[in-house]
Structure 1
Amino acid sequence: MSLPKPVMRGMLAKRLRIHLPLAFVVSFGLALTYKFAVAEPRKRAYAEFYKTYDSIKDFNAMREAGVFESVRPTGK
């Protein structure tokens, strides 16, 4: 009793019919998951931060702390 010959002709096309659409569905699903689980919350967090952010106040605080070498702290 011998083993049957493996089917080689058309094997790539047969596999691609299954795997190619599956790869597209999985990648699209992962892209949507990333968008709604990571990107959107990050955008909301940045928007919320910059609603109340005062760059002048932050600059003055860093200047008083001595962070900058080219700006002297003001003597109050």
Structure 2
Amino acid sequence: MLTSRLTVLTRPQLQCLPAKHLRFHNVGAFTVSWHFVAFYKFAVAKLRKKVYADFYRNYDSMKDFEEMKKAGIFQSAK
């Protein structure tokens, strides 16, 4: 009578447990890293390329050189 009320406990899974957790965490890490890559590309890299393009579109190196020469930065150029 006493044994009919007892339930049999399942044994804990000891084999392959780290492998299952590792698979789950690898998928999570892969997903998070791709989100970060997409964020960096659109928020930082694209913006940086645009700023460089805008700067060099109107940049005159000879004018900049003449201004630095007048300021006395170059000792060899007179």
> What is the TM-score when the length of structure 2 is the normalising length?
0.80
- Pairing 1:1-76 to 2, within 5 Å after superposition: 7-72=13-78
Where does the alignment leave 5 or more consecutive residues of structure 2 unmatched? 1-10
- Which structure would you say has the larger Rg? 2
C-alpha distance in 1, partners of 2:13/2:67?
74
> What is the TM-score when the length of structure 1 is the normalising length?
0.82
Q: Percent of aligned pairs with the same residue?
A: 49
- Kindly report the root-mean-square deviation, in angstroms, between the aligned alpha carbons of the 2 structures: 1.5
Amino acid at match of 1:37: A
**Which ranges of 4 or more aligned residues in structure 1 deviate by more than 2 Å?**
5-8
Where does the alignment leave 5 or more consecutive residues of structure 1 unmatched? none
